[in-house]
Amino acid sequence: MSETAWEEQLLQRIAAKDSDALEQLYDRYERPVYSFVYRIVGDVMAAEEIVQELFFKVWNHADSFDMNQRTGKVSTWIFTLARNLSIDWIRKRDRRPAASGSEEDWQGVKDPETTEQAAMDRLMAEHVKEALAELNEEQKRVLEWVYYGGYTQQEISELHHIPLGTVKSRVRLALRQLRKSLGEVWREGVRS
């Protein structure tokens, strides 16, 4: 069974309130999700609370993950939830208005050819790190603010006194650069 299929089966069991399945999913994601959340919030206690909140949502909303439509990977769902909860937390801490990012962001991500295994993820992680390292400083900074800081383009423009158009183009260029760097890997790796 592929990793994806295994995880989807776990989600089905979780939807049927199988706590062993939740534990298995937890074991699979504890470390990457905690690392990711901690990367955003930078706070050990908050990171644990968010992981708890995340698994609470998984436990109670596993049935909303519609695998028949193949709307997305389990990992995509989990990391999207993790990012949204983390960004909400830091925005609240910083007294910034709620991002109101929808938890449904992950839906509609049609990814029908994802059969890669965890090993592929690890390989991909290295490629992503390399691709991120290749960004120039301005692109790295703007991606940091947007992705890990949960700042909108408008906020970045105001906080850092950068014209809005410049913020826009830096985000755009950063993503294009990443796509370009990862283009080959993508075709060869994920789309197996």
Residues 40-99 close enough to bind other proteins by CB under 8 A: 44-46, 48-53, 55-57, 59-60, 73, 75-76, 79-80, 82-83, 85, 87-89, 92, 99
Min separation Cβ 9 and other proteins, Å: 19
Q: Residues for the chain: how many in total?
A: 192
160 touches other proteins (CB under 8 A): no
Neighbours of 110 (CB within 10 A): 10
146 touches other proteins (CB under 8 A): yes
Total residues interacting with other proteins, rule: CB under 8 A = 76
Residue 50 contacts residue 41 (beta carbons within 8 Å): yes
Q: Please pick, from the candidates 94, 125, 134, 158, the single residue that binds other proteins as defined by CB under 8 A.
A: 125
Min separation Cβ 192 and other proteins, Å: 14
Q: Please pick, from the candidates 2, 35, 64, 117, the single residue that binds other proteins as defined by CB under 8 A.
A: 35
Min separation Cβ 6 and other proteins, Å: 18
Q: What's the number of CA atoms in the CB half-sphere (13 Å) around residue 185?
A: 18
Min separation Cβ 125 and other proteins, Å: 4
Q: Please pick, from the candidates 11, 21, 150, 162, the single residue that binds other proteins as defined by CB under 8 A.
A: 150
Neighbours of 187 (CB within 10 A): 10
- Alpha-carbon distances of 147 from 52, 74, 104, 143, rounded to whole Å: 21, 20, 17, 6
From CA 29, how far away is CA 57, in angstroms rounded? Answer: 14
Residue 28 contacts residue 7 (beta carbons within 8 Å): yes
Neighbours of 188 (CB within 10 A): 9
28 touches other proteins (CB under 8 A): no
Min separation Cβ 135 and other proteins, Å: 12
Nearer to other proteins, 9 or 24 (CB): 24
